[in-house]
Each structure stands twice: as structure tokens, then as C-alpha cells.
Amino acid sequence: MADYRELWESLDMDLEKHDKLCEVLPEFYGDIYLTQENRPESMNYFNFVVSEIHGLRIKELAELKDDGKKVVGSFCIFVPDEITMAAGAVGIGLCGGSDFWIPDGEKYLPRNMCPLIKASVGAKTSGTCPYFQSADLLVGETTCDGKKKAWEILEEHVPMHVMDLPQMKRKKDKDAWTDEMKIYKDEVEKLTGEEVTKEKLDESIKLVNKKRKVLQRLYNARKSLNLPISGKDALLITQISFYDDTERFIEKTTEVCEELERRIEEGVNVFKEDTPRILITGTPMAVPNWKIHHLIESNGGAVVCEETCTGSRVLEGLVDENRETLDGQMEALSERYLGINCACFTPNEGRIDDIVRLYKEYNADGVIYNSLSFCHTYAVEYKKVKEALEKEGIPVMMIESDYSLQDAGQITTRLEAFFEMIENNKSKEEVATTK
Amino acid sequence: MADYRELWESLDMDLEKHDKLCEVLPEFYGDIYLTQENRPESMNYFNFVVSEIHGLRIKELAELKDDGKKVVGSFCIFVPDEITMAAGAVGIGLCGGSDFWIPDGEKYLPRNMCPLIKASVGAKTSGTCPYFQSADLLVGETTCDGKKKAWEILEEHVPMHVMDLPQMKRKKDKDAWTDEMKIYKDEVEKLTGEEVTKEKLDESIKLVNKKRKVLQRLYNARKSLNLPISGKDALLITQISFYDDTERFIEKTTEVCEELERRIEEGVNVFKEDTPRILITGTPMAVPNWKIHHLIESNGGAVVCEETCTGSRVLEGLVDENRETLDGQMEALSERYLGINCACFTPNEGRIDDIVRLYKEYNADGVIYNSLSFCHTYAVEYKKVKEALEKEGIPVMMIESDYSLQDAGQITTRLEAFFEMIENNKSKEEVATTK
């Protein structure tokens, strides 16, 4: 990474502590990512992005801020980027994915809470995340108890706006969510001094849809029986989609898609034949949380899809581009976002349909239900998902875990047994078919 | 208890398992309640209610059901009893307060969840709670992630209706809550076949207000420097208010109030002079969860008030009795219920004001912040409450605990230190005053 100390200083960061974080990441990334064999060449851009993770993009943000732009940080895919952009602001995803921030988070939050929330609060309060330091406004939402109450703590450190997400999906809830969209629009307009017009929103809706489409194209390549990309690499691209410049991200990911499609034609497979294909479902994985993917792919499995907020939920479903009024656009946004099947809703039957559908679309052999520790909504919803998958004859395994590597050995043992079971099932099926 | 086996059988209960529960309770109650010295004589009625806890009231409910009445079970003080009653149904509070039900709850729910939710689900699924078995409809709410998702599991066992409580308290949220009141009204009307009229609602609003007023009168007696009743006994009365016949409850609690007021005049104190007076704030205590009160009052403290859902939040704030239309009444209900300062709201500054006010009104010497294990909203809110209380110079201590007695020793040690600190503070103040 180039020298950004002056930039970081200007962001009021704790440089000494930040140095410690910067020391760890390159080796961590090297071990997990650079040791992979036969990676697509077009991943080089994303290697570069990680190598400059607290540098180049932060510099870009600083330059945008110098030009009068505002930066809006968010923590959840329910916050509509389209509105942020249409008001002339830059939206960035801020969820904390590193163990590094947990101790600082625990100064403000109970220990027995989701690591993502603790890390997010720790990232801000420790002054070691330049993205947090660049944000002029944070936008929270009421998707879970932990986050809902954590905003009250973050608010003591940085201006916050909270969107009240309904807990159900009735007609009245869609209206309520449209209303929250409008309140958010007013808020971000106040921040930037720019009005959200129908034209600007048209533009941003199309741009964000374009980003979704390129991610859909990327995911489509993972349906191939010869996997042209690892799950880890696909996850990284999705993670980077949260804070990279949108146009550049689309361009660079298009290059990946082109390479993957060539690879599919050429029959390139980054895994051994017959590697169990895993669909992951559950809680989000924020940078640099690559734990479960790494454990799966280092122990004989391949991740083919994620039914998560850093996976299918962020890329499926486009916003209708054909509304004729600003109100109509707000409704279209509300519809698309309320179509996300997060476990925060009750009931949430749509998620089960999604998992079964994705399992089939991605030719998966098994499902790993991954829940961050102490995430009540996903942990409780496991029972219904498990029952539905078992009814379909789909193997499923639950992993509840935080960011630490203490349970890596135990998870590995369970994964090995799960993959063995899947392989046995497949051989039995083959015998049955050839008989 | 009289012989109710036939009645219990008719409720499809697991009699063998239920026998085990019935075996434990009398001794448990005896140890905690009947060993208290100098109790008000009027507590005899409440002793009797506990001795018949799964008998007499269940028989009454069965008789009401034979007469065509419907029974509606609920888990939260946000569910408006007034509407239940006005539709001709009988409302009962159902929260599980016993460790006995936890293992059955854990068959359906993750272990690292609030004991109240696990016990409530276990009470239903084990078929050992005749109140659950008597209910024709359960009414849930979206006050926390755990409960919100647990309803989906209970729904597989019994008809459920869920009220979507807003997470904030803006004008639009009050309207949304009014709307939920109306949806609930329609639902309970469908159940009973009886229309909720303005006249019936007038009557039930007045009756529930009357119940609140008698509880206010009871709590008022606890403000006295000579405490005429223990915290344990007051808690028991509030707990029983959730399922006893309302008219009889008012009558019997009025008798207690009269006795307590006589005692205050006579200077009767059920505690030694200078016993530290404790305000409890936090999560609800469902029957038979008397753990923290018992530990406090067996180790040198006296509980003078509870800022909880089994305390001040259930009795403070009356519903306006002067609305002229059904819509107006619905709004009045919405206003009163949305006035409850539960940690599920963001922000929830009103709760801090309540705690400080109650601390003063009840002449408390310290605050114990009690949170059921894994309750994120109350656990996170502790930080803000603690800071506010420290600013006021109010001693505060946090206890996070479940229903088991395994941590009783550790809590006792912490309580003793807390009381000692309070006593030292008081002596210092006295020295300062006499100087």
C-alpha cells in the first residue's frame, strides 16, 4: 500500500492502532486468497483493491469530499443506494467483518452479541476504519434488535439516520416502507443540498440495476458444472461491490464474467471433479470475513452460491425502471427492497422457496446454514428451513460461529463428515441410476 | 390442590410430566414466600391462588368456555386487554417463568436465547401448562427478534395472531399502531362472533383502568419509608393480575391496599430499619420467576418498585375514557400503549426519565438493572441507563441471568457488595448532613 498516513491523520484516525490492523491483513489475505490455484486472471483487480483497501478508495472519497460530495455509510442491503446516489452522495457499505474490532465493540456492547455488530461499533469507536471516518452520515435500519440498539450508541459518535423497516410484508407494510424511503430521501437531500429528481433517480435506478445484472452474470457462471471461479473469489467480488466506485466495479466485474464464460466453454474447473457443491444460506459475511468459505474450500467442498446479504439477496430482483413519477419510483424501490427475504420478517416463507430454488439452479449437493453467533432471527429460522429442506431430500448442516478461528478445527471435522455424507449419497444415486 | 385430573385430561395435557411440575411448586413457593415474616394477612388470597394455580382458574376458564366464551392468550403488555374483553373474550397472560419448561423449549429454539421465550414455547409444546391448553387464540407481537420468530413455531401448535409493533414513536408510528389495534379487533371479533361496540369498549377501558388504579394504589404503599409489604409479595400480586378474573382481582387487591395503608399508619415495616431500598429495572418476571427479588430480600435488601413489564409499565398511564367514537377509542388505546417505554423502541429516552423519576418517588437507594440472558434490547440499553444514573449519582448494578439457580451464589456476593456500598454512601451522607 502507498503512504496514506497524512490522509488517515486528516480523518482523525488512531494511526498506531491502525498500523496493527494493516500489518495483519496482507498475510491473512495471502494465506486465504493467493494460495488458490488456477484463479481467473481478472481477479487481479480485486487483489489490488484489497491491497489498497484503506488507501486508494479512501483517497478517492477524500477527493470527492473536497469537491463537496457527501459520503453516506450503511450497514444493510435494505438501505436504497439509488436514493443516496440520486441526491448526489456516495454510498458505502460499512459492516465490520474483522475480529480486530471486537474488543473495541465490547467496550460499548454486551459480549454475547453478533460479531458483525460488535465489529461495526468497534471499527467506528476505535478510529481504525477510514471508511467510517469518511462518512458524513450513517444510515441504520431496524432489521434486528442488536443493530437497532447499536445505532443509539453509534449516534453518540457520528450523525445517524435510522430507517424503520416493517416486520411483515402486507400491503400496509409496503406503504410504510415507501414512506420510509421518502423520509430517507428528505434526509439525504438535506445533507447534500441536492434535490432528488425523477431524472436523477431514473439514472441511479438504472445504474444500480446494471450493477445487479453484472453480479447476476457472475453468479450465473457459478451454475456451471465446471466451476470457473471459487466461492471465495465470488464472495470477495460481492463484498467489494459494497464500496467500490460503481461504474468501475461494473467494468471490472464484466471482465471477470467474460473470462469465466470463456473458461466454461473451455471446460476449466478450479476444483477437482465431484467436489461437493455447497449452497450457503444465512447471515452476511462482511470483509474480511472469509472464514466459512475458506474452511469449506480448504476441506474438500466448493461454494457455488450464497443465499445471504453478501450474495443472492443483494443481486436478485431489479427495480422497475418504467415508473413515470417520483412517487411511482419510490414505490418501485419499496417493492424491490421489501422483496428481500431476510429472517427479520415474520413470516418469511419466501426464503425457503429461495433456498430450494437456488439449490436447484446452482446444481448444489448440500446446504450449509451459516449463522453469526447470537443472531436470533437466523438461528430460530433454521428449524423451518431444515424441515423444508429435509422434506426435499436436501442435506443441510448448521454452523453458528463468530469471527474467531478458535472453532475452526471443530467446524472442519463437521464439514468433512458432511462432505463424506454427500459423496456417499451421490454414489448411491449413481448406482441406482446405472442399475 | 383439589383433583383436576379429568379437567387436565380434557385439555390434552401430558399428565405424567405435569405431575412432576406440580410436585415442585408447593415447596418452591413455601421456601420463597411462606417463610417471610410479618406478611399482610390479605396475602392469603394470593397464597390460595398459587396453591390452585393450575386448578381453580383453569376450571373457571373451562366453565366460561362451556358457556361459549373464548380464551385469548398473550405474552406482552402491548396486547390491549380492553379489546379482548370488549369482544367478549377472556384475556390471559401466558409468559413462561419456570426452568421446568426450558428443555422442551430448547427442542424448538436455540439454547442461547432468552429463558422467557424458551419457557413459553416449552410450556405449550410439552402440554404441561393448562393456561396454554385453554387458549383458543394466542396473540404475539414484534417486540423482540426472539419472540417474533418464536411465534412462527408456536403457530404450528395453536392459532396465532401477531401484532406488528412499530420500533419508533413518531406520529406515523402511533397511526400504524392504531391500525394494528383495529386489525386485532377484527381478529378477535371473528373468534368470538361478537362485535366490539363503543359501549362495550367504554366498559372494558374503564375496567382495565380500574385494575391499573388498584395496582397504582398498591405501588403507592411501597413508597412509604416503613415498607408494609415485601417486594416479593407485590411482584406476586402483579403477576397474578395477568390471569386472574379482573373484578375479583380488583376486590382482593383493594383489600391488600387497605391493609397496607393501615400498616403505614401504624408504622409497620416488614424489613429492618435502614434496609437498602432497591428499584429494579429491566425485563419481565413471569410466574414463578421470583429469583432476583428473593435473592435481594434474603440478602439484606428490599425491592420497592419494578420498572418492568411486571411492574410500573403495566400499571402506569390510563387509557383516556372520554373518547366519543370507536375510532377515537382505538386512538386512545394506541396512545396509552405506545406510551410504554420498552427497550424495543429506538430511541427510548423515556425509560431513563421513568427510572430516575421512580427512583425518587419510591425513595430508593439503588437500582438493579436486571436483564434476562440474551435479551439484546435491554442488555444494550444498559449503557445509556448506567451513564444517566451515574450522572444523577444513583448507584446501579447490572444482573444478567436466566431461571436457573446456578448463579445464585455469585449474584448474592455481588448483591452484598452493592448493599454495603449503598450503606456506606448513606452513612457518609448522614455525617455530611449532621456536620
Contacts of A176 in chain B (CB under 8 A): 172, 176
Which residue of chain A is at minimal alpha-carbon distance from B371?
A: A110
Q: Is A84 touching B (CB cutoff 8 A)?
A: no
Q: Do B162 and A346 touch (CB under 8 A)?
A: yes
What pLDDT, on the 0 to 100 scale, is given for residue A435? 62
What pLDDT, on the 0 to 100 scale, is given for residue B1? 66
ipTM: 0.95
Contacts of A76 in chain B (CB under 8 A): none
Mean pLDDT of each 10-residue bin along chain B, 435 residues long: 89 96 93 97 98 96 98 98 98 95 98 97 97 98 98 97 97 97 98 98 98 98 98 98 98 98 98 97 97 98 98 98 98 98 98 98 98 98 98 98 97 98 87 72
Contacts of A383 in chain B (CB under 8 A): 108-109, 153
Q: Is B172 touching A (CB cutoff 8 A)?
A: yes
Q: Give the residue carrying C-alpha cell 486468497.
A: A33
Q: Which member of B146, B346, B381 has the closest CB to residue A142? A: B346
Interface A–B counts its CB contacts (< 8 A) at 113
Instruction: List, for residues B263-278, the tens digit of each pLDDT value.
Output: 999 999 999 999 999 9
Residues of chain A with pLDDT > 90: what percent? Answer: 96
Contacts of A377 in chain B (CB under 8 A): 145, 148-149
Instruction: List, for residues A315-342, the tens digit of each pLDDT value.
Output: 999 999 999 999 999 999 999 999 999 9
Q: Is the confidence at residue A432, as pLDDT, over 90? A: no
- Give, in order, the Cα–Cα distances in Å from A429 to each of A112, A392, A433, B323: 43, 15, 6, 70
Contacts of A121 in chain B (CB under 8 A): none
What pLDDT, on the 0 to 100 scale, is given for residue B80? 98
Q: Is A353 touching B (CB cutoff 8 A)?
A: no
Q: Which member of B150, B164, B376 has the closest CB to residue A113? A: B376
**Bridging pattern class, strands B302-307 and B277-282:** parallel
Q: Do B152 and A377 touch (CB under 8 A)?
A: no
Q: Which member of B146, B153, B173 has the closest CB to residue A383? A: B153
Question: Looking at chain A, how many residues does it have?
Answer: 435
Q: Which member of A149, A173, A381 has the closest CB to residue B381? A: A149
Q: Is B341 touching A (CB cutoff 8 A)?
A: no
Instruction: List, for residues A13-31, the tens digit of each pLDDT value.
Output: 999 999 999 998 999 999 9
Mutant choice from B78, B346, B375 vs A, greatest count of A C-beta within 10 A: B346
Question: Looking at chain B, how many residues does it have?
Answer: 435
Q: Is A346 touching B (CB cutoff 8 A)?
A: yes
Is the Cβ–Cβ distance between B338 and B180 less than 8 Å?
no
Instruction: List, for residues B92-150, the tens digit of each pLDDT value.
Output: 999 899 999 999 999 999 999 999 999 999 999 999 999 999 999 999 999 999 999 99
3-state secondary structure chain B: CCCCHHHHHHCCCCHHHHHHHHHHHHHHHHHHHHCCCCCCHHHHHHHHHHHCCCCHHHHHHHHHHHCCCCEEEECCCCCCHHHHHHCCCEEEECCCCCHHHHHHHCCCCCCCCCHHHHHHHHHHHCCCCHHHHHCCEEEEECCCHHHHHHHHHHCCCCCEEEECCCCCCCHHHHHHHHHHHHHHHHHHHHHHCCCCCHHHHHHHHHHHHHHHHHHHHHHHHCCCCCCCCCHHHHHHHHHHCCCCCHHHHHHHHHHHHHHHHHHHHHCCCCCCCCCCEEEEEECCCCCCCCHHHHHHHCCCCEEEEEECCCCHHHHCCCCCCCCCCHHHHHHHHHHHHHCCCCCCCCCCHHHHHHHHHHHHHCCCCEEEEEEECCCHHHHHHHHHHHHHHHHCCCCEEEEEECCCCCCHHHHHHHHHHHHHHHHHHHHHHHHHHHC
Q: Which member of A149, A166, A400 has the closest CB to residue B377? A: A149
Is the Cβ–Cβ distance between B371 and A139 less than 8 Å?
no
Contacts of A382 in chain B (CB under 8 A): 110
Average of per-residue pLDDT values in chain A: 97
Q: Stretch A396-416: mean pLDDT, rounded?
A: 97
What pLDDT, on the 0 to 100 scale, is given for residue A290? 98
Is the Cβ–Cβ distance between A137 and A79 less than 8 Å?
no
DSSP state of A4: -
pLDDT grade, residue A1 (50/70/90)?
A: low
Q: Is B105 touching A (CB cutoff 8 A)?
A: no
B residues 373..402 contacting A (CB < 8 A): 373-374, 376-377, 379-384, 400
| Beta carbons within 10 angstroms of residue A247's beta carbon | 11
Q: Computed over its alpha carbons, how large is the radius of gyration of chain A?
A: 21
What pLDDT, on the 0 to 100 scale, is given for residue A425? 86
Contacts of A107 in chain B (CB under 8 A): none
- What's the distance, CA B132 to chain centroid? 17
Instruction: List, for residues A295-304, the tens digit of each pLDDT value.
Output: 999 999 999 9
CA–CA dist A163, A139 (Å, integer)? 7
What pLDDT, on the 0 to 100 scale, is given for residue B428? 83
B residues 107..146 contacting A (CB < 8 A): 108-110, 112-113, 142, 144-146
Q: How far apart are the first and last CA of chain A?
A: 59
Q: Give the residue carrying C-alpha cell 392469603.
A: B44
What pLDDT, on the 0 to 100 scale, is given for residue B435? 62
Please report how many Cα atoms fall inside a 13 Å half-sphere around the Cα of residue A77, on the Cβ side: 28
